[in-house]
C-alpha cells in the first residue's frame, strides 16, 4: 500500500497527524469517510441571492481589495464583484492573504453565506476559485472530522489524489451477493462516498459500504464462535449441587436470576466450553448468580477465577463472596498488584488449595499457575480487552467463560456486539428495591439542592457529585471537579469533601474510595471514574453537573451508584440548555429506571458513537455503519453471512477469495479460517 507521504502536500508533519487517527497508507485514507457534505452546486445570479443562504455565484472582480481596520485585532478586507444581474460586496475578516490574489476583470466562483444583516448584497468569508480551475466549488464537497493542523482543504485534496492513485480496486463481494442485495460495485462506492456527483450516488455508495462492513463483522464473529465450539472438555457431572447453595441464601432469587442460572447450567452440562454474557441492570443480582455458578464449579472439582477492573472492586468482591461461601469449606483468596506474600498465594493456587481466586490483571501474570481452572468470570466486560479475557481462559484447558456487565445494551444490538457469546439477560430487580427518584433542575434550583444535600448529610448519609471535567479550561464553561470540590467544602465546612478523578494513580483512587466507603469522606466529588465502583449503601444522593453532556446510559450507570441501602435515594441532574433533545433526554431519566429502555432511547436520540467500545471487544471500529439506524441493512448482512458460511464454511471457493482475504486483513490473528 502506498505511503501517505507520496501524496502532494503530505510531508512528515501532516503524515504524523494522519497516523494519530490510524491512517498510515493511501488505502487507510480512502476508508476515512466524511461526516457530512456541503452542496455547492446551487449557482445563482446575484439578483436572486437571498439573505442568510449559502450560495454559489460566478462573477467578475469590479474593484480592487479595500483594507479597513475596524477595531484592534480586526481588519476587514472587501471588494466589489458583479454579473449581468447586479453587484455584490465580498468580505473577509482578518484574512490578509486575499490582498494580492484578485485582479479587476478576472472571473471567480464564490461560495458562501449572504449576510442577513445588511440591505446590500454581501457575501462573508467565501470560498473562492478562479473560473475554469474549480476544485472546491460547483460540486458536492465532503466535510471530514478534523483534528490538529489538518484542514478540510488538506484532507479533501489528499483524498482526491488518493482515489486517483489507488486506481481500480478488486471487487471482493461475490456477484450473486451484490445482485441479491442490490449493491453497487466497490470503486463506484468509494468514489461516490467521498465525491458524489448527486446525492443519490451517496446513498447508493453508503448502502454498499455499510453492508460490507456489517457483513465482515458478522462473518468474523461467526468464525470466533465456531473456533470456540471446536474445543472439547469434560461436562460437569454434578449440576444439582447448585440447589444446596440457592436454598442456603437468606433471600429468594428472582425469576430472572433463576432463569439465567438454568441457562448457565445447561452450558456446563455440554462438552464444549461455555462463553456467556450476563447482562443485568445495576442491582439486578448478577453477583448472586455468579456465586451460584462458582459454587457449582468448585463442587465439580474445578477452580474459579474472577477478574475485576480495579483493586477496590476486587476487594469488595472478595468480601461479598466470603460472605456467600462461609461454612461451605470453599477457600477464597484475593490477588491484586498490592497483595503481600504473593509467593505463598501462588503456591496455594497451584496446589489447588484455593478454590476461588479473585483479583485484577494480576490473575493473568505468567507467574500465576492454576491447579484445575474450570471457570473464569470477567466483571464489567467493557473495562477489559478481549485479549485479557482470552489470556485468563488460557490458564486452563477448555475453560468456561462468564462475562458480566451492568451496561444495558438493547438485546438485538448485544447479539451483534457479543456475537461470539451466548446472552442471558437479568431484566428483573429484587422485590423491595426502591427506584432512585430523579429530578432535572436548572441553575435557579442550586441553593435549594445544596440545602437538601445538607439535610441528608445531617441525617448521616453520604453523597456523590459528578462533573464532566477534571480542571478548569478557558475553552469550557463546564463545571469541573476541582472547583466544585473547593466550593462544596466552603459551603459544607462541617463535612469532609473528597475529590477523585481519572488522572490520579490507582493507589490514590483506592485510598479515597476506601475512605468514602468507611464514611470518612461525606461528599465525594468525582469524574466518571466512579461509574464502575464500590458499593456504598450509605450513599443516597447523586448530583450530576452538566448532565446534558453525558449519554443517557452513562447517566443511568452513575445513578446506579446510589439506592443500594434501605433509605430512599435521589439523583439530581443539573442540565443546561433548553433545546428539545436535552429536554427529552432529561425527561426520560426522570421517568424511567429501566436501563434497557433508557439505552434504546439513548441510541435513538444520539446514535451509538463509541457506546459499544467495539475496539475493547477485539472488533474493528465501525467506520460508517450505525448499529441503530442501519438495523435493516444489518439484518440483510446477517442473512448473507449465514448463507456464505452454510455454502462455503472455509471460504475456499474462488468467488469467496476476496471475502477471505478481507477478513484476514481486518482481524489478523483473531480469526481462524480452516
Mean pLDDT of 371-384: 78
Cell representation of residue 506: 490507582
pLDDT higher at 362 or 668: 362
Cell representation of residue 480: 469541573
CA gap 503, 265 in Å, rounded:
42
Q: What is the dihedral of CA 654, 659, 665, 670, to 10 degrees?
A: -100
Indicate if the pLDDT at residue 304 is higher than 90.
yes
Mean pLDDT of 540-563: 88
Task: Dump the DSSP string for 51-76.
Answer: TT-EEEEEEEE-S--EEEEEETTEEE
- Which pLDDT does position 581 carry in this prediction? 81
State the average pLDDT for the chain. Answer: 87
Q: List % helix, strand, coil for the chain (3-state, nearest 5).
A: 40, 20, 40
Query: Pairing between strand 36-39 and 140-143?
Result: antiparallel
- Which pLDDT does position 17 carry in this prediction? 92
DSSP letter (8 states) at residue 171: P
| CATH H-level superfamily of 242-426 | P-loop containing nucleotide triphosphate hydrolases (3.40.50.300)
Mean pLDDT of 612-617: 42
- Which pLDDT does position 619 carry in this prediction? 53
- Which pLDDT does position 474 carry in this prediction? 42
CA gap 122, 34 in Å, rounded:
30
pLDDT bin (cut points 50, 70, 90) of residue 507 is confident
Biggest distance spanned by C-alpha atoms of the chain: 96
Q: What is the pLDDT of residues 621-659, one digit of tens each?
A: 678 887 767 878 988 998 999 899 888 888 888 988 888
- Which pLDDT does position 479 carry in this prediction? 60
CA gap 33, 38 in Å, rounded:
14
Q: What is the pLDDT of residues 163-179, one digit of tens each?
A: 999 889 999 999 999 99
- Which pLDDT does position 10 carry in this prediction? 92
Indicate if the pLDDT at residue 616 is higher than 60.
no
- Which pLDDT does position 154 carry in this prediction? 92
pLDDT bin (cut points 50, 70, 90) of residue 418 is low
Q: What is the dihedral of CA 260, 263, 266, 267, to 10 degrees?
A: -100
CA gap 105, 99 in Å, rounded:
16
Segment of 49-53, 189-193, 410-414 carrying the highest mean pLDDT:
189-193
- Which pLDDT does position 667 carry in this prediction? 67
CA gap 70, 623 in Å, rounded:
45
- Which pLDDT does position 263 carry in this prediction? 96
Which stretch of DSSP H or E encloses residue 145? none
C-alpha closest to that of 572 among 463, 468, 460: 463
- Which pLDDT does position 386 carry in this prediction? 60
Q: 530: Cβ–Cβ under 8 A, 6 or more apart, which residues?
A: 464, 466, 500, 513, 524, 558, 561
- Which pLDDT does position 385 carry in this prediction? 54
What residue spans of 422-570 are helical by DSSP H?
446-458, 481-491, 506-517, 552-559
What residue spans of 236-310 are helical by DSSP H?
242-248, 255-268, 286-299
pLDDT higher at 17 or 226: 17
Q: Contact, 505 vs 492, CB < 8 A?
A: no
Which stretch of DSSP H or E encloses residue 113? strand 107-114
- Which pLDDT does position 492 carry in this prediction? 94
pLDDT higher at 37 or 470: 37
pLDDT higher at 138 or 581: 138
What is residue 460's three-state secondary structure? coil
CA gap 513, 626 in Å, rounded:
37
Mean pLDDT of 122-139: 91
Burial of residue 387 (number of CB atoms within 10 Å: 0-12, 13-18, 19+)? exposed
pLDDT bin (cut points 50, 70, 90) of residue 439 is very high
Indicate if the pLDDT at residue 475 is higher than 80.
no
Q: Which strands form 462-466's sheet, in the order they lie side by side? A: 437-441, 570-574, 539-544, 462-466, 523-526, 497-500
Q: 317: Cβ–Cβ under 8 A, 6 or more apart, which residues?
A: 287, 306, 308, 358, 379
Indicate if the pLDDT at residue 533 is higher than 80.
no
- Is there a common fold for 47-138 and 437-592? no
C-alpha closest to that of 561 among 492, 462, 470: 462
Indicate if the pLDDT at residue 18 is higher than 70.
yes
Instruction: Specify the CATH number for 47-138; select among 3.30.70.100, 1.10.1040.10, 3.40.50.1370, 2.40.50.140.
Output: 2.40.50.140
- Which pLDDT does position 610 carry in this prediction? 42
CA gap 594, 282 in Å, rounded:
10
Q: What angle do CA 278, 279, 280 make, to 5 degrees?
A: 115
- Which pLDDT does position 530 carry in this prediction? 63
Q: What angle do CA 399, 304, 253 make, to 5 degrees?
A: 110
Class of the CATH-defined domain 437-592: alpha beta
CA 46 to chain centre: 47
- The model carries a pTM of 0.65
% of the chain beyond a pLDDT of 90 = 53
Cell representation of residue 115: 449576510
Cell representation of residue 217: 463483522
CA gap 638, 375 in Å, rounded:
30
CA gap 204, 32 in Å, rounded:
18
Indicate if the pLDDT at residue 296 is higher than 50.
yes
Q: What are the boundaries of each domain within the chain?
A: 4-37+144-195, 47-138, 242-426, 437-592
pLDDT bin (cut points 50, 70, 90) of residue 471 is low
Q: Contact, 7 vs 137, CB < 8 A?
A: no
Q: 608: Cβ–Cβ under 8 A, 6 or more apart, which residues?
A: 413, 626, 627, 628
Amino acid at each position: 500500500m502506498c505511503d501517505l507521504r507520496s501524496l502532494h502536500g503530505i510531508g512528515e508533519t501532516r503524515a504524523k497527524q494522519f497516523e494519530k487517527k490510524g491512517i498510515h497508507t493511501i488505502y487507510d485514507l480512502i476508508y476515512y469517510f466524511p461526516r457530512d457534505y456541503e452542496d455547492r452546486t446551487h449557482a445563482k445570479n446575484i439578483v436572486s441571492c437571498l439573505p442568510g443562504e449559502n450560495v454559489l455565484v460566478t462573477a467578475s472582480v469590479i474593484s480592487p481589495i479595500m483594507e479597513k481596520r475596524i477595531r484592534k485585532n480586526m481588519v476587514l478586507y472587501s471588494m466589489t464583484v458583479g454579473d449581468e444581474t447586479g453587484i455584490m460586496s465580498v468580505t473577509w475578516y482578518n484574512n490578509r492573504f486575499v490582498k494580492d490574489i484578485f485582479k479587476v476583470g478576472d472571473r471567480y466562483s464564490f461560495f458562501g453565506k449572504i449576510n442577513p444583516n445588511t440591505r446590500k448584497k454581501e457575501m462573508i468569508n467565501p470560498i473562492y476559485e478562479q473560473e475554469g480551475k474549480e476544485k472546491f466549488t460547483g460540486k458536492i464537497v465532503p466535510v471530514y472530522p478534523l483534528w490538529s493542523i489538518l484542514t478540510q482543504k488538506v484532507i479533501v485534496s489528499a483524498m482526491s489524489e488518493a482515489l486517483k492513485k489507488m486506481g481500480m480496486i478488486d471487487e471482493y463481494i461475490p456477484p450473486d451477493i451484490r445482485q441479491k442485495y442490490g449493491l453497487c460495485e466497490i470503486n463506484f462506492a468509494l468514489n461516490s462516498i467521498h465525491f458524489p456527483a448527486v446525492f443519490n450516488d451517496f446513498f447508493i455508495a453508503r448502502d454498499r459500504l455499510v453492508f460490507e462492513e456489517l457483513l465482515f463483522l458478522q462473518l468474523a464473529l461467526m468464525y470466533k464462535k465456531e473456533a470456540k465450539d471446536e474445543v472439547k472438555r469434560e461436562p460437569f457431572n454434578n449440576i444439582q449441587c447448585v440447589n444446596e447453595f440457592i436454598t442456603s441464601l437468606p433471600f429468594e432469587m428472582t425469576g430472572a436470576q433463576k432463569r439465567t442460572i438454568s441457562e448457565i447450567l445447561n452450558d456446563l452440562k455440554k462438552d464444549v466450553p461455555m462463553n456467556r454474557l450476563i447482562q443485568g441492570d445495576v442491582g439486578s443480582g448478577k453477583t448472586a448468580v455468579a456465586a451460584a455458578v462458582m459454587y457449582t464449579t468448585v463442587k465439580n472439582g474445578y477452580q474459579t477465577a474472577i477478574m475485576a477492573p480495579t483493586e477496590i472492586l476486587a476487594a469488595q468482591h472478595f468480601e461479598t463472596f466470603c460472605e456467600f461461601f462461609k461454612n461451605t469449606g470453599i477457600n477464597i483468596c484475593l490477588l491484586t498488584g498490592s497483595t503481600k506474600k504473593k509467593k505463598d498465594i501462588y503456591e496455594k493456587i497451584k496446589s489447588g488449595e484455593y478454590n476461588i481466586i479473585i483479583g485484577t490483571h494480576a490473575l493473568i501474570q505468567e507467574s500465576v499457575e492454576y491447579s484445575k481452572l474450570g471457570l473464569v468470570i470477567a466483571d464489567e466486560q467493557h473495562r477489559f480487552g478481549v485479549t485479557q479475557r482470552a489470556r485468563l481462559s488460557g490458564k486452563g484447558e477448555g475453560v468456561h467463560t462468564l462475562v458480566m456487565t451492568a451496561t444495558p445494551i438493547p438485546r438485538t444490538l448485544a447479539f451483534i456486539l457479543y456475537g461470539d457469546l451466548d446472552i442471558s439477560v437479568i431484566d428483573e430487580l429484587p422485590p423491595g428495591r426502591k427506584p432512585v427518584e430523579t429530578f432535572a433542575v436548572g441553575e435557579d434550583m442550586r441553593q435549594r439542592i445544596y440545602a437538601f444535600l445538607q439535610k441528608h448529610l445531617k441525617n448521616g448519609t453520604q453523597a456523590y457529585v459528578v462533573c464532566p471535567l477534571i480542571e478548569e479550561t478557558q475553552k469550557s464553561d463546564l463545571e469541573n471537579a476541582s472547583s466544585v470540590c473547593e466550593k462544596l467544602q466552603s459551603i459544607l465546612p462541617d463535612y469532609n469533601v473528597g475529590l477523585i478523578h481519572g488522572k490520579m494513580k490507582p493507589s490514590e483512587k483506592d485510598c479515597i474510595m476506601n475512605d468514602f466507603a468507611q464514611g470518612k469522606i461525606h461528599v465525594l466529588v468525582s469524574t466518571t471514574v466512579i461509574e464502575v465502583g464500590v458499593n456504598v449503601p450509605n450513599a443516597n444522593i447523586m448530583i450530576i453537573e452538566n448532565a446534558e453532556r453525558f449519554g443517557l446510559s452513562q447517566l443511568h450507570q452513575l445513578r446506579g451508584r446510589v439506592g443500594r441501602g434501605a433509605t430512599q435515594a435521589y439523583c439530581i441532574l443539573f442540565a443546561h440548555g433548553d433545546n428539545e433533545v436535552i429536554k427529552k433526554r432529561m425527561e426520560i431519566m426522570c421517568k424511567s429506571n429501566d436501563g434497557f429502555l433508557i439505552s434504546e432511547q439513548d441510541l435513538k436520540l444520539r446514535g451509538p458513537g463509541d457506546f459499544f467500545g467495539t475496539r475493547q471487544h477485539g472488533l474493528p471500529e465501525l467506520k460508517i455503519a450505525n448499529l441503530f439506524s442501519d438495523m435493516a441493512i444489518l439484518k440483510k448482512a446477517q442473512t448473507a453471512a449465514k448463507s456464505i458460511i452454510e455454502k462455503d464454511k472455509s471460504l475456499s471457493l474462488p468467488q469467496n477469495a476476496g471475502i477471505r482475504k478481507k477478513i484476514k486483513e481486518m482481524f489478523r490473528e483473531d480469526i481462524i479460517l480452516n
